[in-house]
């Protein structure tokens, strides 16, 4: 699938954030890391809230305005490359975003094969 340079950089940064969040508590606070691993085992939808990246967070890292990043996220969502946290649709706050397929990739790295849900 063809992506613009901006779309690719936003997607790459979102993947970095998700990866950092999945590894964050490893070796320091094992019970928090285990909670994140349980989310990874459940798949992408379970990971969005709390482990995903926020629009302003990606924008700050890349030096791009948050509204511009939001537009890129929406374009990537239409292409089926990211999902948006939709757990509380009536709650007005920043929404988390997560790259499709990252949970399976990280679960393969962090979990024994017996714990990964296909």
Rounded CA-CA distance 98/113 in Å is 22
pLDDT at 114: 47
CA separation for the pair 89, 85 (Å, rounded) = 9
* Cβ atoms of 16 and 62 closer than 8 Å: no
Three-class DSSP category at 98: strand
Question: Which pLDDT does position 113 carry in this prediction?
Answer: 55
Domains of the chain by residue range: 5-109
Instruction: Produce one character per residue of 70-82: b if its CB has 16 or more CB atoms within 10 Å, e if not.
Output: bbbbebbeeeebb
Query: Quick one: fold of 5-109?
Result: Arc Repressor Mutant, subunit A (1.10.10)
Q: Tell me which residues of the chain have a pLDDT lower than 50.
A: 114-116
Structure confidence at residue 116 (pLDDT): 45
């Amino acid at each position: 699938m063809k992506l613009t340079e901006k779309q690719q950089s936003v997607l790459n940064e979102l993947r970095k954030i998700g990866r950092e969040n999945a590894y964050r508590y490893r070796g320091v606070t094992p019970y928090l890391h285990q909670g994140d691993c349980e989310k990874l085992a459940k798949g992408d939808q379970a990971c969005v809230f709390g482990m995903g990246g926020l629009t302003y967070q990606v924008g700050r890292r890349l030096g791009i305005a948050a509204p511009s990043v939001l537009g890129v996220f929406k374009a990537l969502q239409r292409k089926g490359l990211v999902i948006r946290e939709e757990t509380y649709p009536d709650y007005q706050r920043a929404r988390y975003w997560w790259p499709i397929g990252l949970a399976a990739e990280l679960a393969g790295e962090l979990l024994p094969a017996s714990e990964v849900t296909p």
